[in-house]
Every structure is written in C-alpha cells, then in structure tokens.
Amino acid sequence: MCYKKCAEQLSASKPLQFYRLESPQIFLKHCSCRRYRKACWIFACISDFSPVTVSTMSWLLLSLLAVSSYFLWHGISLVKLYLQARKTGWPVLVAPVPQEALWWLVGSVPLRHVFARLLPKPLYYRINMTIYGWEFKARYEPFESIGSKTFMLTNCSVNVLMIADPDLSMDVLKRVKDFERLELGNKVLGVFGSNLLACDHENWTRQRRVIAPALNERISDVVFKESCRQASEMLQYFTSRGGVTDATLQGLKDIAIHVLAAAGYGLSSPWKEEKRPPKPGYKLTYIEAVESVIDNIVAAAMLPAWVFLMPFLPSNLRRIGYAKREFPAHTQETLAEERLRAATRTETQSNLMSMLVKIADDGKQDPADKKSRVSKTLSEEEIMGNLFVFTSAGFDTTANTMAYAVTMLAAYPQWQDWIVEEIDEVLQGKGREVEYTETYPKLVRCLALMVSLFACNDCHSLNMTS
C-alpha cells in the first residue's frame, strides 16, 4: 500500500528527529499518497536545521511577537483615550506610558533621575506626571505652563482629570457616580478590604450611611485628650535630656500613630513605649504591622505577602510580608475581643472600631426586610478595610503637617510667641486636665496656623495677623 511506502521512507529520514515522532504512523495518519511528494519536499527544506536552532528561533519570534503586541495594544489604547479626552474641551497632555502597569509603578520611581538626564525635556515633563510623587516636586508648575487650572492627562492606561480649582474639586468629589476613582487608587486603599475611599456608586452610599454616625464628637474628644497626653510625655522626655534633640520629627510620627491607634482601635500606649514582644504566633505587634504596611503601602498593595517572605530577601522587606499577613489576623482577634467586651457592658467605647462593630451588629438584628438589613450593616472585610484606611489616611498627613508646623515655627519665632500667648490665656489655671468642648473652640490662633500651612506655598505667605 502507498501508506506503507510513505512510512518506510519517512522512518529513515532525518527530519523525523525534529518532529520527535514516536513512530512515522503519527505523521502518516495525516498524510495521503497524493501529498507524499509535498511532504518529502518540506522535510528536505528543513533537514538542515537542528532542533535547538529552530526552537531558539521560535522562542525569539514568540517573544518579539508578544512585546510587539503589548506595545501595539497600548498604542491603540492611547489613541482611543486621547480622542475621548479631546471631547471634554479641556487641554490635553499626552504621556505615552502605561501609568497603571505594575512594571511602571515599581520601576519608574528609582529611574526618575535617569529619565530626567536622558529624555528630551518636553517628553520627560509629560512622563514625570505619571511617576508616583510628582506633585511634591512639580506642584503648581504644570497648571501654570498649560495656562489652565484643569487639564486631562492621557496615558496608555487611563485618562486622569487634573484639577487645581478648589470649588471644582469639591464638586467632583461630591459626584461620585459621575467621576469614578482610579482602579489603582482603589487597589492601594482597598488592600485589606472594601472601604469608604475604595468603592463607588451604591456601595459608597451604603458605607457612608453606616460609617458617618461613628465619626462624631466622641471620637474628636478622644483625639484631643490623647494628643495632649502624648505631646506632654514627648515634651517631658526631651526636657529631661537637656531640651536638645534631633528626633523631633520622629517623635511627632509616634504621636500620630499612637493617637490614631487610640481613636481607631482603643489601644492606648505611652509616647516612649518600651519594646513589647508580639503575641504568640506573630512576628509583629498590631501597631507595628499597621505602621509597616502604611510606610510601604504601594508595594504592599501590589504584591502578595509571600513575595516579601522569600528567605533570601533582606529583613526590612520580609517585615512588610509579615505585616501584610498578620494585620488581618490581628484585626479579626481584636474584633472578636471587642464583641466579647460589648456583650458585658451597656455603653459603647469611644473608638471607631467599637462604634463600627455596634452599628454593623445592630444592622444585622434590624427586624426590617432583607434588603434594608443589607444597607444598614458592614461585613467583616469592610470593617477591617475602613479601620485600616482610617489609620493610613490619617497617619502620614497628620505627621507631616505637624512636622511642617514645628519647622515653620522654629524658622519664624514671632509666630511661636503669638501661639504661646493664646495657649497661656486659654489654659490659665486649668492644669493638665483640659476638656475638648471647652478648650478647642478657643484655640483660634492654633487653628489659623494649621489652616494657613495648607494654603501657603512658601514661608513668606504666612500672614495671620488678621
């Protein structure tokens, strides 16, 4: 038969080694005698190529094809997004990089100085605005150069609306259904669960309805009293050592995290806390886990814990992995302990966790219909997510603002005298114990100082005499 003839000739041919056929019949069952000459001609053409050469060429070709497809897809995406941005009528600035790609998020920050040195200035100017932290360096300059308080930044991933108009910013923030948050922001802020800053539409409305009653004056009272206690302990520590120190800014960070821990979780700690061992089974304490994740929030959000826990990595990176792995477990234990304490007392404690637990549990027991119950409660993951974002959103902003205020007061002693004059008058004869409702409303100059720090662009714009 002709099949047998094909098999005999093909079994002796060298090209069969390339196809790695166990027997010629595997190939022959797809052949016919009519195609025999064509098959032999193909084998003759490829018989001079070794398996390794062809395999290497195939991988190179596939790699080239994959890279080309990736950039082609982003190029098409850039064009589509640019056309959408043009329809808004605002000025459009194009940055030809994928802002939300993981490789860009990780690699762009350390390469910022390389880009500044090698890229043409107009191109670097655009690309710089897709690199994390560009606002602290460029500030208002992009808006001045474009000549508008609003413009669209178009990159290969997304259109970003840039606003330097306070009134327009407030309008955008209120219209959560019309202006969705960036997926990247939701991913970073939602690293431990959905929360008020990492959700949209109906989910945001539901969480806001549940959480708003918990952020009341009782929380403000705890923040005020804990801040006074922490600041007093910090002052006593520094004055007992001669009053000269280079650890003021770190001390303010300690105040910020301790105040947030008291207001958020009901965890009260001394300012100069001695190193305490973590609970059995943990590498970090609750506060250490929170602090480690906040300090490395982007990396913690983008990479799973096991990546940081690889044994060959340095200890500071493994600490991030421990923190990301242990924070949910710490929170679950603390929530369980809070529910046990709540069952034996009649009044809710003045911290965010106690209030969220009470509101969420009361919502589950509401005798209304099922749809209403869902809208009045929070899941365990949402409680955890909101507790974390309450701490993380307040930590750096509070610590940095206090550090800036202290630095400005040191540079301009006349404002120190102005502030001290008011504090002496308000606290005269009250000792160390002060009440939030009686004292805070009278500290008008202190509030003016902090508000002015947000508005000023440089030291000389401080003008609070009025």
Instruction: Give the pLDDT of residue 80.
Output: 93
Residue type at 449 in one-letter notation: L
Confidence of residue 244 (pLDDT cuts 50, 70, 90): confident
Once rounded to an integer, what is the mean pLDDT over residues 250-276? 85
Instruction: Give the pLDDT of residue 81.
Output: 93
Under 8 Å between Cβ of 383 and 339: no
Average pLDDT of the chain is 78
Once rounded to an integer, what is the mean pLDDT over residues 228-245? 87
Under 8 Å between Cβ of 104 and 86: no
Residue 442 has pLDDT above 70, yes or no: yes
Residue type at 263 in one-letter notation: A
Residue 216 has pLDDT above 70, yes or no: yes
What is the share, in percent, of the chain residues with pLDDT greater than 70? Answer: 81
pLDDT digits (tens, 9 = 90+) for 128-166: 998 888 887 888 888 998 899 999 999 998 888 899 888
The SS3 assignment for 132 reads coil
pLDDT digits (tens, 9 = 90+) for 196-214: 888 877 788 888 888 888 8
For residue 141, give the nearest of 123, 154, 160, 128 by alpha carbon. Answer: 128
The whole-model pTM stands at: 0.68
Q: Which residue spans of the chain are classified as CATH 1.10.630.10?
A: 193-400
Instruction: Give the pLDDT of residue 242.
Output: 82
CB-based burial, 368-401: b 16+ in 10 Å, e otherwise: eeeeeeeebbbeeebbbbbbbbbbbbbbeebbee
Order of strands, sheet of 92-94, starting from the edge strand that comes earlier in the sequence: 92-94, 150-154, 159-163
Give me the CATH code for the 193-400 domain, please. Answer: 1.10.630.10
